[in-house]
Copies of this chain bind each other. A is one copy, B any other.
Amino acid sequence: MSAATKASMLPEPYETLRLKTRAFIRDVVIPAEPKPGTTLTEATRRDLMSKAKAAGVFAPHLATEYGGQGVPLEHWPAIFIEAGYSPIGPAVLNCMAPDEGNMHMLELIATDEQKARYLVPLGSGDVRSCFGMTEPHPGAGSDPLALQSTAERVDGGWRINAHKRFISGAEGAAYCILMARTEASADEGFPAGATMFLIDMDHPGVRLGNPINAIDTAIAGGHPHVYFEDCVVTDDAVLGAPGEGFAYAQVRLGPARLTHCMRWLGLAKRAQDIALDRAARREMFGSQLRELGIAQEMLAQSEIDIATSEAIIDRTAAMLEHDPKAGAALSGIAKVHCADAIGRIIDRAIQLCGGDGVTDALPLASYANEVRPFRIYDGSNETHKWAIARRASSRRRREVEAGALPLDTVNEHGNDIWGQQ
């Protein structure tokens, strides 16, 4: 059994799929990667997608009836990490954001008609999609509840007005899953809240803003602003039940956050392998051994970052199936840890490769730019930390209210309030 498989605890048939994915990425995808600084052409992507389908590794997360491999969420991590080992791997396997999260949501709540029209072409890789939640400050961002976009009930449909920003993949997308605030309707029996809509990008009233040039490039279609101006849609554009959009957003965001961790962790493992190859070559030449110890410190820290990231991702994936609410909370912790760890790993790899690390002779500098936004996207790390601290405080407050001994026992005279001193 190869070194690659030893440490895996994936049950079958997922371990076999992981190994096939690994081989496909290394044997087929990596040799077809574009040079650093250039992007994957649509023709190459389509060719590689065909090969992925033929190899039985396409769309691991998607139900088999839509052309995927039907892997349950709990077992995505190791397979997505293999996919992410190439920066174009997730696009080739059609498990890239935002499409992968949209597929997940469509599978769960779309009608059969909606699935036929939207999920089928998305799952096959024929079209791309986007997800319209984020808004300019002070609208919905890290906090979906700040949503400002509105959909107003009109006869047989809805009139939408929305200004969205950082809509990843919007340019060239076939449609958008848009989130807008909707009022309660006593007549129709739905609550006040948010509603999800499926809207074709060429629908009247939809307009792309100026392109935004972000430093990452792996998500096809960039991150532009999108405007929905008096955009009227019919009732069949509603995805799921009206007024339930905030709950649906949570369904989407927890796993979506986690799949980002998986894919980019794969890229970080690639960076670490580049650094290991460089270290091996240096050792071979028998020189610069004097810095070897400092290099080992860096390599070891990256191994620790990789292993702890894998562990928290796995645990979160299992938790998302076991207890979705606890899983969503844990996904915030996973996101912060992985975003930080992935950034560190790639940064160390650059440092270990010296001058070549900051040129396009190696892809490392482009990897660094690719993952830098992850500390900001999907809720900035700071926002997550704020929420993590709040949840910890609430958890502890509930424990104390339920009778746990208060542990901060010093009174104003510096004495223990239990009277022990």
Contacts and interface: CB of A to CB of B under 8 A. Distances in A.
A236 interface: no
Interface in A111-151: 136-138, 141
A26 B384 CA distance: 30
A213 interface: yes
A319 B408 contact: no
Nearest to A36: B213
Contact of A300 (B166, B356, B385): B385
B389 A138 contact: no
Q: Chain copies in the assembly?
A: 4
Contacts of A409: 361-362
Contacts of A281: 408
A333 B285 contact: no
Q: Which of A382, A395, A397 has the most CB of B within 10 A?
A: A382
A241 interface: no
Contact of A296 (B212, B386, B396): B386
B358 A373 contact: yes
Given A311-B311, A376-B354, A210 B274 contact: no
A308 interface: yes
A209 interface: yes
Contacts of A3: 395, 398-399, 402
B303 A388 contact: yes
Contacts of A54: none
Contact of A209 (B138, B407, B414): B414
A372 interface: yes
A376 B281 CA distance: 19
A118 B56 CA distance: 57
Interface in A386-406: 386, 388-393, 395-400, 402, 404-406
B386 A37 contact: no
B273 A396 contact: yes
A330 B7 contact: yes
Contacts of A398: 3
Interface stretch (A42-50, A256-264, A287-295): A287-295
A314 interface: yes
A175 B295 CA distance: 36
Contact of A393 (B279, B294, B322): B279
Interface in A187-216: 209-210, 212-216
Contact of A294 (B2, B382, B405): B382
A359 interface: yes
A386 B314 contact: no
Given A277-B396, A311-B311, A287 B359 contact: no
Given A336-B304, A408-B353, A372 B368 contact: yes
Question: Which of A356, A361, A396 counts the most B-chain CB atoms under 10 A from its CB?
Answer: A361
A251 to B, nearest CB: 19
B392 A276 contact: yes
Contacts of A393: 276, 279-280, 299
Contact of A415 (B214, B311, B361, B395): B361
Closest 8 CB pairs of A and B: A293-B293, A300-B385, A296-B389, A311-B311, A277-B408, A276-B396, A300-B388, A136-B412
Interface of A: 2-4, 6-7, 9, 26, 30-31, 35, 37, 136-138, 141, 163, 165-166, 209-210, 212-216, 223, 225, 270, 272-274, 276-282, 285, 287-288, 290-297, 299-301, 303-304, 307-308, 310-312, 314-315, 318-319, 322-323, 326, 330, 333-334, 336-337, 350-351, 353-362, 365, 368-369, 372-373, 375-377, 380-386, 388-393, 395-400, 402, 404-410, 412-416, 420-421
